[in-house]
């Protein structure tokens, strides 16, 4: 049955039905008597699903749907020989259903991609031997070895080795996090550099990645489909229509008037009022590089009173760059420090090293060849450059190697760290010569966008996995007042649910895999489509394909205008139906002219909705 309904409601079959109705109308107007009225094609193709759902409503769901009223009107029209009226009603309802279907389609491929990130095997150490085993065979307390470039199979704790872990999948942090013995690691995160041994602490469904997948699945289930407004009214709309038709028959004694009432009472214009407005609004947004996946999301966006932002890749570009160069030695210039560091980091694979060498190339600086290059995961790099021993790394590591810091360098270091920047100390022959600070870059439109949101009576907060200092620095630059930092995906969801419990309508804006549960949990999820992960885009209701966050206030204005237009179109449709019922009662309209009246009402609603497409909201 599902295949039959899908085939009959396809665009191709709707076009065939439309052609048959057009031919039937031409025959009626020209007086041509065909052996079989072409309108039967539309009645059968478009009417089948209407009758089917009317029966499902009565006998299975025990509910009255608008399809029942349409079925009654079709049967009554056929009974008195008005096939055109029956076919026209069925066709318009089919068109309305197709429009609604297109606007409410949701993509569900993201969950499959999220599941694909889960590691399938782990390397267990037992009795001094290594063996690869399926992840589902790993038990709590097992010792596992993870090599560079591999995904960590379960949640655990490092017991030996130093490394840097890319845990952006869980926290959204733009930088790999240095890890050593005693530090926690999460399932699905990537070990970037050193080999480490970990003890498994949370396995199977208890691991962080599996919980992330579970949260997305639950959020999917909790997203109730949007119900058409006419179906909400159907329980009293059908009895009223039948009552008026019965009154018309007994008052006039003419069955044709009763049938005409049923024909014009069909809520065709009412059905088209919402989907056509939504289609126009979605088309308007698409012109500006915004993909809106459902009419429900568009409607909810207008109700949003607080927007929560992820930091990396959302308020910022998600790309590291050298932000500060501080000289600690008299006569040593910024270019000297940068050139020296780039000479060592040229052989490093660490993102910080790549940022330094890239920045040096942009400045056109000369770098010297290095010898005896060494990388200590989680600490820094060393090499010989021009006969001098050069170290680039953390302050603690340089101190371990006998590098002395003055009071000025300690103060500069503290200030940069308070700004949430990644800091590398450069030393030459045991003497600290400079500091390189690296930071993500905030989007220039962020501050104005936050200000524009406030003019729309909408607050803005930051929800990020980054460290508190980093979060506070960027929040202050963008003008956000609420800052919630160092959050795992589950904690972001908790914070969103907390805000929702306070009666807030929340829009979550993010770009990473770790944002997917939060995007699903929020009233409206909005993803950065240009650089955002596929999973985040699939999880979201709205995608900013050009990563232009300045469009968020525009979306609120568009949503408000769309909701107002829908309400106006519904009112217009009801007025049209009221007048048609009155004219049918008086005998002015027949089933044929009543069906044509349908077209006039439907066209007015569609044309009014189309005006939304070209309106200016920016």
Residues 100 and 6 in one domain: yes
Residues 166 and 137 in one domain: yes
Q: What residues does 461 pair with on adjacent strands?
A: 308, 482
Residues 121, 153 contacting (CB under 8 angstroms): yes
Domain assignment present for residue 337? The answer is yes
3-state DSSP call for residue 457?
Answer: coil
Q: What's the pLDDT band for 19 if we cut at 50, 70, 90?
A: very high
Burial (0-12, 13-18, 19+ Cβ within 10 Å), 613: middle
Q: What is the pLDDT of residue 546?
A: 74
Q: How far is CA 275 from CA 17, 170, 208, 348, 450, in A?
A: 20, 37, 40, 55, 31
Name the residue range of residue 524's domain.
290-317+442-547
Q: What is the pLDDT of residue 555?
A: 92
**How much is the average pLDDT of 510-514?**
76
Residues 55 and 20 in one domain: yes
Residues 275, 105 contacting (CB under 8 angstroms): no
According to DSSP, the β-strands at 542-544 and 524-528 are parallel
Rounded to whole angstroms, the Cα distance separating 394 from 435 reads 10
Domain assignment present for residue 218? The answer is no
Closest CA to 528 of 443, 614, 469: 443
Domain assignment present for residue 112? The answer is no
CATH number at 387 reads: 3.40.1110.10
Residues 58 and 93 in one domain: yes
**Helices 591-610 and 255-265 meet at what angle, rounded to 10?**
10
Domain assignment present for residue 332? The answer is yes
Residues 531 and 579 in one domain: no
Domain assignment present for residue 217? The answer is no
As a three-state string, the secondary structure of 362-373 is: HHCCCCCCEEEE
Which of 377, 408, 439 corresponds to the end of one domain?
439
Q: What's the pLDDT band for 223 if we cut at 50, 70, 90?
A: very low
Residues 265 and 245 in one domain: yes
Which of 547, 573, 592 corresponds to the end of one domain?
547
Total tally of structural domains belonging to the chain: 4
CATH number at 484 reads: 3.40.50.1000
Residues 518 and 418 in one domain: no
Domain assignment present for residue 450? The answer is yes
Residues 300 and 330 in one domain: no
pLDDT over 90 (residue 48): yes
Residues 51 and 102 in one domain: yes
Residues 506, 523 contacting (CB under 8 angstroms): yes
- pLDDT tens track for 366-375: 889 999 999 8
Domain assignment present for residue 111? The answer is no
pLDDT over 90 (residue 335): yes
Domain assignment present for residue 552? The answer is no
CATH number at 133 reads: 2.70.150.10
Residues 146 and 233 in one domain: no
Q: What is the pLDDT of residue 228?
A: 54
Q: What is the pLDDT of residue 105?
A: 47
Residues 606 and 511 in one domain: no
Beta strands in 394-546 (DSSP E): 422-428, 431-439, 459-463, 482-484, 506-510, 524-528, 542-544
pLDDT over 60 (residue 585): yes
For residue 76, what are its two tokens?
């009554």
- pLDDT tens track for 68-110: 878 888 888 898 888 888 888 888 878 866 765 664 444 344 4
pLDDT, greater one: 89 or 529 = 89
Of 37, 155, 231, 310, the catalytic one is: 310
Which of 547, 573, 596 corresponds to the end of one domain?
547
- pLDDT tens track for 422-479: 889 999 998 899 999 988 888 999 999 999 999 989 999 999 887 788 888 888 889 8
- pLDDT tens track for 592-601: 787 777 667 7
Q: What is the pLDDT of residue 219?
A: 47
- pLDDT tens track for 234-290: 677 778 888 988 998 898 888 888 888 887 877 766 777 777 788 788 878 877 878
Residues 454 and 406 in one domain: no
- pLDDT tens track for 122-147: 999 988 888 999 988 999 999 999 99
Q: Worst-scoring range by mean pLDDT, 302-316, 406-420, 545-559?
A: 406-420
Q: What is the pLDDT of residue 107?
A: 37
Q: What is the pLDDT of residue 41?
A: 94
For residue 467, what are its two tokens?
């460290």
Please say if 231 is a catalytic residue.
no
């Amino acid at each position: 049955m599902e295949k039959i309904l899908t085939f009959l409601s396809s665009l191709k079959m709707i076009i065939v039905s439309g052609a048959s109705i057009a031919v039937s109308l031409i025959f009626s107007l020209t007086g041509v008597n065909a052996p079989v009225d072409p309108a039967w094609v539309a009645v059968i193709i478009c009417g089948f699903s209407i009758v089917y759902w009317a029966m499902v409503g009565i006998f299975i769901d025990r509910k009255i749907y608008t399809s029942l009223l349409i079925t009654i009107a079709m049967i009554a029209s056929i009974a008195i020989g008005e096939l055109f009226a029956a076919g026209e009603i069925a066709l318009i309802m089919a068109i309305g259903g197709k429009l609604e279907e297109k606007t409410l389609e949701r993509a569900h491929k993201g969950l499959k991609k999220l599941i694909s990130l889960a590691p399938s095997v782990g390397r267990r150490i037992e009795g001094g031997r290594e063996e690869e085993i399926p992840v589902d065979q790993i038990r709590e307390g097992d010792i596992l070895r993870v090599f560079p470039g591999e995904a960590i199979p379960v949640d655990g704790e490092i017991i030996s080795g130093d490394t840097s872990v890319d845990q952006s999948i869980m926290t959204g942090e733009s930088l790999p996090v240095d890890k050593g013995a005693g530090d926690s690691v999460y399932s699905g995160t990537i070990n970037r550099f050193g080999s480490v041994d970990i003890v498994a602490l949370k396995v199977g469904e208890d691991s962080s990645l599996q919980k992330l997948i579970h949260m997305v699945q639950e959020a999917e289930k909790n997203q109730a489909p949007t119900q058409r407004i006419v179906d909400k009214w159907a329980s009293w709309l059908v009895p009223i229509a039948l009552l008026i038709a019965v009154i018309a028959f007994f008052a006039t004694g003419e069955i044709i008037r009763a049938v005409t009432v049923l024909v014009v009472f069909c809520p065709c214009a009412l059905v088209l009022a919402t989907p056509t407005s939504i289609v126009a609004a979605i088309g308007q947004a698409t012109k500006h590089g915004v993909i809106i996946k459902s009419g429900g999301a568009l409607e909810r966006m207008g109700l949003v009173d607080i927007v929560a932002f992820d930091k990396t890749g959302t308020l910022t570009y998600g790309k590291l760059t050298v932000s500060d160069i501080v000289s600690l030695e008299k006569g040593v210039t910024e270019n000297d420090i940068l050139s020296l560091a780039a000479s060592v980091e040229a052989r490093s694979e660490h993102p910080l090293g790549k940022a330094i060498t890239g920045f040096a190339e942009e400045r056109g600086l000369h770098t010297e060849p290095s010898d005896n290059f060494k990388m200590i995961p989680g600490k820094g790099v060393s090499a010989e450059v021009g006969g001098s021993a050069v170290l680039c790394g953390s302050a603690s590591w340089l101190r371990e190697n006998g590098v002395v810091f003055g009071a000025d360098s300690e103060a500069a270091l503290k200030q940069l760290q308070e700004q949430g920047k990644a800091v590398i100390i450069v030393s030459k022959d045991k003497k600290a010569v400079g500091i390189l600070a690296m930071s993500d870059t905030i989007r220039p439109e962020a501050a104005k966008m936050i200000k524009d949101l406030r003019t729309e009576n909408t607050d803005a907060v930051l929800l990020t996995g980054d460290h508190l200092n980093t979060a506070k620095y960027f929040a202050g630059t963008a003008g956000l007042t609420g800052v919630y930092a160092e959050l795992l995906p589950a904690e972001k969801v908790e914070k969103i649910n907390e805000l929702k419990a306070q009666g807030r309508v929340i829009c979550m804006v993010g770009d990473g895999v770790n944002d997917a549960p939060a995007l699903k949990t929020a009233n409206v999820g909005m993803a950065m489509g240009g650089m955002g992960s596929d999973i985040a885009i699939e999880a979201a209701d709205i995608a900013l394909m050009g990563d232009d966050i300045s469009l968020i206030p525009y979306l609120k204005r568009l949503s408000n205008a769309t909701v107002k237009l829908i309400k106006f179109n519904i009112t217009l449709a009801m007025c049209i139906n009221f007048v048609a019922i009155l004219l049918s009662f008086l005998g002015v309209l027949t089933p044929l002219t009543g069906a044509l009246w349908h077209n006039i009402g439907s066209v007015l609603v569609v044309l009014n909705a189309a005006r939304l497409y070209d309106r200016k909201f920016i």
